[in-house]
Amino acid sequence: MNPEGTLKGQVALVTGASRGIGLAIARRLGQMGARVSICARNAANLERAASDLRAAGIQVLALRTDLTRGPEIATLVSETQRTVGPVDILVNNAGIGVFGPFHEQTETDWNAVLDTNLKSVFLTSRAVAPEMIRRKTGHIINISSLAGKSTFANGAIYCASKWGLLGLSGCMAEELRAHGIRVSAVCPGSVATEFSPHAGKDPSKMLQPEDVAHAVEALVTQSPGSFISEVQMRPTQKP
């Protein structure tokens, strides 16, 4: 692939992009020529990320947004459309995790994880879909996890959110493909970020944020006659 300039003139909205996987994806899409809109809840982290992207010559709009709140999502999408243009690529990356025995988790824990990891994807995708349908084009890429394909002890709420996300992604893909909109899910294994502790694992052998960004790059550079519905990612060596 020769990605430079591939996305010139396009707009990419990346959620949860103040650090880690989201920031790596925003950087990669910006390097490919896209104008980038990023959001996160932490204003200071978001501004640092925006400064980093601008220093790399990327046109970026940064909007502090709580993706668990529908009105804030509506503002995010409308302001992105007004300032940098209609969204061609939506990457739903924002996510959180609460881990521990399911019977020790609270209703607040459940709501926080499901609202961030699942409901926000529904709301944000719903907000951009009408304009994509009108224009008969678009990519929606949902960053899920291998936790959406398998289960593990102490991961009940997180796994539930990611299993649900894969179900949502599949239904969205079936509904939107007739309009020229491609919906894909990316399912990485453990990635070396600040997201969760990885006790006993060698970070150098884990997936890196840039690996996930490369998968997104591959998805948005497919030929128009096909789409990859799901990508599963694992490190070459077990960490």
| Residues labelled as active-site residues | 158
Strands (E), 43-130: 60-64, 89-92
Pick the closest to residue 185 from 193, 174, 196 (CA basis). 174
Lay out the sheet containing 138-143: strands in order across. 60-64, 35-40, 11-15, 89-92, 138-143, 181-188, 230-233
Burial track 134-146 (b if 16+ CB lie within 10 A, e otherwise): eeebbbbbbbbbb
Residues 89, 34: Cα–Cα separation, whole Å: 9
Query: 150 near 193, Cβ under 8 Å?
Result: no
Q: How many residues does the chain have?
A: 239
Secondary element (H or E) of residue 124: helix 120-135
The strand pairing partners of 193, in sequence order, are none
Residues 75, 72: Cα–Cα separation, whole Å: 5
Total Cβ atoms within 10 A of residue 52:
16
